[in-house]
Amino acid sequence: MPGRKIWITRAQPGADATASRVRALGHEPLVAPLLDVQPIDGGEIDLEGVGALAFTSANGVRAFADRSAARGLKVFAVGAATAAAAKAVGFRQVLSADGDVEALAEGILGRQREIMGQLLHPGAAEPAGDLVGLLNAQGVAARGLVLYDTAPVAFTDAQLAELAEVEVALLHSPKAALALAELLTTHPMPQLKVLGLSQAVIKPLAKAKIAHKAFAPFPLEAALLNLIDRTPD
Q: What is the reported pLDDT for 219?
A: 85
Determine if residue 26 is left, alpha or beta; phi over 0 gives left, psi from -120 to 50 gives alpha, anything else beta: left
Q: What are phi and psi of 75, to 5 degrees?
A: -120, 135
Query: What is the bridge-based pairing of β-strands 94-97 and 118-124?
Result: unpaired
Query: What is the bridge-based pairing of β-strands 142-152 and 35-39?
Result: antiparallel
Are residues 9 and 170 in contact, defined by beta-carbon separation less than 8 angstroms?
yes
* β partners of residue 121: 144
On whether both 88 and 127 belong to a single domain, the answer is yes
pLDDT tens string 4-43: 999 999 998 889 999 999 999 999 999 999 999 999 988 8
pLDDT tens string 108-158: 999 988 898 999 999 999 887 899 999 999 999 999 999 999 999 999 999
Size of the chain in residues: 233
Q: What is the reported pLDDT for 14?
A: 85
Are residues 93 and 117 in contact, defined by beta-carbon separation less than 8 angstroms?
no
Given 133, 149, 165, which residue is the final one in a domain? 149
On whether both 144 and 71 belong to a single domain, the answer is yes
C-alpha–C-alpha distance, residues 182 and 130, integer Å: 24
Q: What is the domain extent for residue 92? A: 38-149
Tell me the mean pLDDT in the region 174-201.
95
If you average pLDDT over every residue of the chain, what do you get? 93
C-alpha–C-alpha distance, residues 174 and 156, integer Å: 23
On whether both 114 and 163 belong to a single domain, the answer is no
Tell me the mean pLDDT in the region 189-194.
96
On whether both 127 and 182 belong to a single domain, the answer is no
Number of compact structural domains in the chain:
2
C-alpha–C-alpha distance, residues 176 and 181, integer Å: 9
Q: What angle do CA 149, 151, 157 make, to 5 degrees?
A: 160
